[in-house]
Amino acid sequence: MSLVSSVSNAVIAQTMVPEDSGGPYVAAAYVVFLVLIAVYVAIMAQRLGKISRQAAELEARLGAANASTGAGAVQGGSVTGAAAPPAQGDDRQKVGS
Amino acid sequence: MTVRGLRPLTLLTVLLLAVGYGLAFFWAPLDADQGFRQKIFYLHVPLGIVALIGFVVGGYHGLRHLRGGKPGSDLRSYVAIHMAQIFAVAVLITGAIWGRTAWGKWWSWDEPFLVSFLIVFLLYCCYQPLRLSIDDPRRQARAASVFAVVAGAFVPINFAVVRMANQYLHPRTLTNSTDGSMPGSVAITFLVCLVAIAVLYATLVRYELLSKSTTFRLRALERQAGGDDLIPRRSAVPQA
């Protein structure tokens, strides 16, 4: 008999409930679900916060560079003025390198 | 979409989950056969249904990507499948726990529903390696979309075939009303839990999409700041 189909036998009968009702297992199932979702949300929140912060910082730096040197000066170059290669550990690589 | 824009959806999710599982534990009657352990039903079955629908949604967005070639559809397909996989892991774990307490064993190879769900899960375990195996983002998106469409079509067919093959063996829970299959309070509680889990899925998908779009914005800013001759390394995540 499948687990789901056994629900078809559900009867409102508190007195007929089996003695071993599997409380720890029910708790385990819900805890597993909560932990899974909580871990996922925590990882995503941390990542989203970090990325948002970096984007805001970069936007501010670009804005400041645009204001001081003119809008076109930043295009094709780094914020500091030189076309710097990617730093070690950067997750990007140069085309053709 | 911003985090602030997602706040009402997040609050709705928390509210629905609280109401659904409040009903499950404090209102729905205990099962005469299984007793308290049947409460896992209100978590395990909605998770399973939503995971399978998530896979189909991934296929739908994959189809939209193939028809229109929009990168946004590939991203939606990726996120829908990614989230459905996480839900599927929860389904397998909660199902194993339920099986252990109800049958005395963690898994049963005799149950077609269990085995077919495992097959679907293992099928989707190939999705990320497939993406990762292709360098070119356009080719990667196209191949992933084809996979999402084919596998997404397989999900309902697989489900229907297993159901039809067992119609004389397993009484249906939701569709068979002739044998008084599910009391009203159990059915209502189950439906509320199903909606709550579906909204949870939608909320997490929205957050994941927001995370990805913020990453794309950061990369665009980095390109603007450091020159546009940088390309991202190989990744399973769709590129903007």
Domain-wise residue ranges, chain B = 40-168+183-213
| DSSP for residue A3 | T
Query: What proportion of chain B, given as a percentage, has pLDDT over 90?
Result: 50
- Neighbour count for residue B61 (Cβ, 10 Å): 24
What integer best gives the mean pLDDT of chain B?
A: 86
Residue B177 confidence (pLDDT)? 47
Confidence grade of residue B194 (pLDDT, cut at 50, 70, 90): very high
Q: Is residue A60 part of a domain?
A: yes
Q: Which residue has the higher pLDDT, B151 or A21?
A: B151
Say whether B99 and A41 touch across the interface (CB within 8 A). no
The 3-state DSSP class for residue A1 equals coil
**Quick one: average pLDDT of B70-75?**
84
| DSSP for residue A74 | S
Does position A53 have pLDDT exceeding 70, yes or no? Answer: yes
Q: Is residue A59 part of a domain?
A: yes
Q: Are B50 and B136 in contact (CB under 8 A)?
A: no
pTM: 0.79
The total domain count for chain A is 1
- Neighbour count for residue A24 (Cβ, 10 Å): 11
In degrees, to the nearest 5, what angle opens at C-alpha B129 toward C-alphas B202 and B111? 65
Residue B31 confidence (pLDDT)? 80
Contact list in B for residue A6 (CB cut-off 8 A) is 31, 33-34, 38, 102
pLDDT tens digits for range A65-76? 877 776 544 444
**Tokens in use for A8?**
């078809």
Residue A85 confidence (pLDDT)? 34
Which amino acid, residue B58?
G
User: At a CB cut-off of 8 Å and minimum separation 6, what does B173 contact?
Assistant: A4, A5, A7, A8, B181, B182
Across B21-25, B200-204, B234-238, least confident range: B234-238
Does position A83 have pLDDT exceeding 50, yes or no? Answer: no
Q: Is A38 on the interface with B (CB under 8 A)?
A: no
**Helix residue spans in chain A (DSSP H):** 23-69
Q: Is residue A61 part of a domain?
A: yes
Does position B64 have pLDDT exceeding 80, yes or no? Answer: yes
The 3-state DSSP class for residue B31 equals strand
Closest CA to B13 of A28, A51, A41: A41
Q: Is residue A49 part of a domain?
A: yes
Q: Is residue A78 part of a domain?
A: no
Does position B36 have pLDDT exceeding 90, yes or no? Answer: no
Residue A3 confidence (pLDDT)? 54
Q: Is A71 on the interface with B (CB under 8 A)?
A: no
Mutate to test the interface with B, among A4, A19, A61, A95 (most CBs of B within 10 A): A4
Q: Are A58 and B218 in contact (CB under 8 A)?
A: yes
**Quick one: average pLDDT of B80-104?**
92
Q: Is residue A95 part of a domain?
A: no
Across B56-65, B134-143, B187-196, B220-229, least confident range: B220-229
Residue A80 confidence (pLDDT)? 40
Q: Is residue A33 part of a domain?
A: no
**Quick one: average pLDDT of B74-79?**
93
B71-102 and B112-124 helices, crossing angle to 10°: 150
Which range, A35-39, A93-97, B71-75, B146-150, has the best average confidence (pLDDT)? B146-150
Q: Is B97 on the interface with A (CB under 8 A)?
A: yes
Q: Is residue A92 part of a domain?
A: no
Mutate to test the interface with A, among B41, B229, B231 (most CBs of A within 10 A): B229
Range of the domain at A52: 40-67
Say whether B171 and A59 touch across the interface (CB within 8 A). no
Which range, A19-33, A74-88, B43-57, B176-190, has the best average confidence (pLDDT)? B43-57
Which range, B72-76, B78-82, B175-179, has the best average confidence (pLDDT)? B78-82
Which range, A18-27, B151-160, B174-183, has the best average confidence (pLDDT)? B151-160
Residue B83: phi and psi, rounded to 5, are -70, -40
Confidence grade of residue B124 (pLDDT, cut at 50, 70, 90): very high
